[in-house]
Structure 1
Amino acid sequence: MSRRLRRARKRIETTEGADVSKKLEGKRIAFLATDMVEQVELTEPWKAVRDEGAKVELVSLEEGKIQGFNHYDKGDMFGVDRVVEEASASDYDALVIPGGVGNPDTMRTDENAVAFVRDFFEQGKPVGVICHGPWMLVEAGVVRGRKVTSWPSLQTDIRNAGGEWVDKEVVVDQGLVTSRKPDDLPAFNEKIVEEFCEGRHEEQAEKAQNAVHADATPK
């Protein structure tokens, strides 16, 4: 056997013996969405975490399927894995909330969906939110004291809720990952994988508790 062939075989054996475990192996990730979800903001983060070994479930307001949208045009239908009324943050390691105007605008009127989101923060679990998704954070009362980005039209809502709105493609604040729009998805996907891999953030729980207590204090 030639020296070159021996070196090539050694490289193959080294690669085969390397640790190829996926970053999110064993993690269970919830995606919270309903009709009019911006399709790419559901499918691309879904693929990003699933490719890293996570088990992914679509949680929604009702059983059946939800309608995705590509901006103003109808897209694909997506099967619901679990109804939010029966879901618990304790069953998951992390949460993703996609955008689309109608998606979070509908969900923020559902008390079970709002409580589901709030519980992730109170348990210190990482959360990824994009586009109009931060409306859910405002409704859940977990924005106060946090750096957040979003679709620009939400910035007044975020500031009024006590958050600091930042115009960047991705913002990370102690387990909370936010982005503005579909163009930011590459950066968003990279960061949610990173934060979900890190797991629970004590500071996430502390900030959530402080925000809830501050909002409950009589003015």
Structure 2
Amino acid sequence: MASVTLNGLNVAILVTDGFEQVEMTEPRNALDASGAETQLVSPKDGQVKAWKFTEWGDTFPVDMPLDSARPENFDALLLPGGVINPDKLRTLPDAVAFVKAFFDAGKPVASICHGPWTIIEAGAARGRRLTSWPSLKTDLKNAGAEWVDQQVGVDQGLATSRQPDDIPAFNPEVLNLFASARRQLRQTAAE
């Protein structure tokens, strides 16, 4: 993973209370170590509280409130899972619109566990091959996606993974996917 350089890449991490802690912290650490600038974006002001497998986890400062966040100021999006977090986000029109804007602009998105619930709500699952926590299989199929049971899948600018145990396979794929966005930015700047 250390060979991927993401200097200058701005990544939004959309969460609210109840995101699975390791599904945010581990990918974020990998992104930060590769030089990306990550920001926690949330509909909540101040702090968000993580879920840690079977109980509440740590709190994290919100870097940018959702109502101030502009998708055009970010190059990529990370959607951690947990059950509570994406279930709340998919009911918030501003959160759904934020996610949809990344897909509409062709920017890369990474999602793990229950995170694809928000992708379904944004209308971006149709025609994509992806994975998730197994209980989302029917939801994703009903939304027009091809669901696969594997550690990580990458299709049409979307990297997905099933669960925390898959993070060692997920992180390198996310870095590689987001590196493609960095290359695009450099090309555009050179033109």
Work out whether the TM-score is over 0.5. yes
Give 1:21 shift: 8.4
Instruction: Confirm or deny that 1:144 pairs with 2:126.
Output: yes
| C-alpha RMSD over aligned residues | 1.7
Q: Distance in 2 between matches of 1:24 and 1:200?
A: 6
* Secondary structure, aligned partner of 1:172: strand
When the two structures are superposed, what TM-score results if normalisation uses the length of structure 2? 0.92
5+ unaligned residues in a row in structure 1: which ranges? 1-19, 203-219
2:40 corresponding residue in structure 1: 58
Number of paired residues? 183
Report the CA distance between 1:75 and its aligned residue: 1.0
**Structure 1 residues 200 and 125, CA gap change in structure 2 (3 angstroms):** farther
Matching residue within 82, 101, 104 for 2:83: 101
Cα deviation, 1:90-126, whole Å, max 9, x if unaligned, reads: 0001000000000000011100000000000010000
Moved over 2 A (4+): none
2:176 counterpart residue number: 194
User: Is 1:77–2:50 an aligned residue pair?
Assistant: no
The TM-score, its normalising length taken from structure 1, stands at 0.81
Corresponding residue of 2:156: 174
Shift of 1:179: 0.2
State the 1:159 CA deviation: 0.4
- What does residue 25 of structure 1 align with? 7
Deviations 1:147-166 (A, max 9, x none): 01000000100000000000
Q: In structure 1, what residue type is equivalent to 2:152?
A: V
1:200, distance to aligned residue in structure 2 (A): 7.6
Q: What is the identity, as a one-letter code, of the residue corresponding to 1:68?
A: A
Greater CA radius of gyration, 1 or 2?
Answer: 1
In the alignment, the residues of structure 1 paired with residue 144 and residue 77 of structure 2 have an alpha-carbon distance, to the nearest angstrom, of: 22
* Post-superposition offset of 1:74: 1.3
- Percent identity, aligned pairs only? 52
